[in-house]
Structure 1
């Protein structure tokens, strides 16, 4: 890996410096996070200075990012020294907008991590800043919006609803046609002479009323981004149970977007349970390639006691691959 290359996963960027040596300044290659290409640079004077700034472009000029982020700097040796920055929150336009002086000297190999907690933009016509992550998605046409409005009314008002769903803590009404078109499992229920066809009732007692409503909102095409994010794990379970491939893929992509030290082990177990290879690979990279296994050393013991043996074997093989002798 070259000295100037920055690796990224989810909202984390990592720059491995093999040898800073006698030089006093070094700049990274551009790396993509969110809507922008970024650069990191380091400078050695009385302090060790780190800069983060977007690459000059039309996007960064017209809608500069308002970033919430922090840094970690560590040496790459066995005696790992870690420097963690304060949490920064500010607009970034040029290389002069942000610099972090680290009161320490690094020699030889070391690692710089920058983790973005949020990236916001200001609308071109003014107004409040908007986070790019919870609201990503294409604008829909007027005709699509009209159709979705009709579907929302059908669900919310129970217009010609012909099936009852009993959840863990309440009851919902829905439409067999929409459920059947969305899921081969539901289609089979109503096509064959099963109890669901006869009673027009479905038991979904492994979901709360709120989570099931989010599930139906997805099937009707009316789910809001914040609702999707709140119920991602429940929606993932429903997608797997009812064989809804697009929802399962959407949940996996979403869970990949905000991996961090607090949720990576849970995400790893979910990826194994539901056979989500991209999510599993992302969690493995976060833990081993990016060295975040050190941040979860206390929680890892619980994982070792509960996790599947084959998952443990994969983690061990990943350790051997990443930490092979250089």
Structure 2
């Protein structure tokens, strides 16, 4: 009984707050808090970046750990060991596949993702993405980094849209908008509209407004594009005629196009 009384006494012990400070003390401490130590903001920023870098490195170490992976991507016969929780967190398309909610996917994407089970592990079969591109997609989903260059940027942009990886959409989009020209603008427009990449769409429209004659002078390319993408052409011509309206709305587009 004595032990029980002792336990009851301890469990009911209240945490007593410190006594209130005098107003002069509060003013002094408040002033001190409002004056950060020299370099503290920079050090905090560096520390935060270091933490993110360590997280990226740790997640990178999970790649191809077949002993602890619970899923495989089968890409043109190549198997990539992955983790369902990472895929689901980073890609809306893979999240739908893993949760079995295929109805959330566009019918075209749904047809491109087949699922199997091998040795009690989920296998997602991918046929529409090159293995080397998919490897960079997987690396990005784990680490937030990938090899991005002029040779693979468009294919990564397509993959980001196909699997609905928002960060990769922005990452590839920011790379490509600085490389838009009259030779690639129609290809980029088609992908931007197909996968609703607002950033790329905006900059492609802006390029067309400025270089419409140059783009349309590529007669065969423009003719084919106009036949296949009539709604896009209608919007391009609308903004070309109403360029003042486009530029007046551009700041709002900039604010909304980076997710």
Task: Please give the TM-score of this superposition, normalised by the length of structure 2.
Answer: 0.59
Cα distance in 2 for partners of 1:210, 1:271 equals 22
The aligned counterpart of 1:164 is 72
Deviation of the 1:203 alpha carbon? 1.0
Structure 1 SS opposite 2:68: coil
CA distance in 1, matches of 2:87, 2:81: 11
Mapping for residues 123-142 of structure 1, pairs under 5 Å: 141-142=49-50
Give secondary structure in 1 for the equivalent of 2:72: strand
Instruction: Find the residue that maps to 2:143 and give its secondary structure.
Output: coil
| Structure 1 residues not aligned, in runs of 5+ | 1-137
Pick aligned residue for 1:278 from 199, 209, 213 = 199
Q: CA deviation at 1:183?
A: 2.6
Alignment of 1:25-174 (within 5 A): 141-158=49-66, 160-174=68-82
Number of equivalences: 183
Q: Is 1:179 equivalent to 2:87 in the alignment?
A: yes
Greater C-alpha radius of gyration: 2
Aligned to 2:145: 223
SS at structure 1 position matched to 2:62: helix
The structure with more strand, counted as a fraction of residues: 1
- Is the aligned partner of 1:293 residue 2:213? yes
Instruction: State the alpha-carbon separation in 1 of the partners of residues 81 and 222 from structure 2.
Output: 43
Q: What CA distance in whole angstroms lies between the structure 1 residues aligned with 2:241 and 2:212? A: 16
Flag the 1:305–1:260 CA change in 2: closer, same or farther, 3 A: same
Cα distance in 2 for residues equivalent to 1:223 and 1:229: 16
Q: Is residue 200 of structure 1 aligned with residue 89 of structure 2?
A: no
How far off is 1:314 after superposition? 1.4
Q: How many angstroms does 1:212 deviate by?
A: 0.7
CA contact (8 A) 1:190 1:196 kept: no
RMSD (Å) for aligned C-alpha atoms: 3.1
Note if contact 2:182-2:214 (Cα within 8 Å) is conserved in structure 1: no
SS in 2 for 1:227: coil
- Does structure 1 conserve the Cα–Cα contact (< 8 Å) formed by 2:57 and 2:143? no
Task: Report the alpha carbon displacement of residue 193 of structure 1 after superposing the two structures with TM.
Answer: 9.1
CA distance in 2, matches of 1:139, 1:293: 51
Work out the CA distance in 2 between the residues paired with 1:282 and 1:243.
20
How far does the alpha carbon of each residue in 1:225-281 deviate from its partner, in whole angstroms, 9 at most, with x for none? x43654333333333333322222333333212111221121122222222333223
What displacement does 1:174 show?
0.9
Question: Does the CA-based 8 Å contact 1:163-1:175 persist in structure 2?
Answer: yes
Tell me if structure 2 keeps the 8 A contact 1:183–1:244.
yes
Q: Kindly tell me: are residues 191 and 314 of structure 1, through their superposed partners in 2, closer, same or farther at Cα, counting changes over 3 Å? A: closer
Larger helix share, 1 or 2: 2
Shift of 1:209: 0.9
Matched residue of 2:148: which SS?
helix
Deviation (angstroms), 1:222: 5.2
Deviations 1:214-233 (A, max 9, x none): 11011001533x43654333
Q: Which residue of 2 aligns with 1:237?
A: 158
> What's 1:312 paired with?
233
Deviation at 1:320, TM superposition (A): 2.7
Equivalent residue, structure 1, for 2:108: none
**2-structure distance, mates of 1:169, 1:319:** 46
Matched, 1:214 2:160: no
Q: By how many angstroms is 1:159 displaced?
A: 5.1
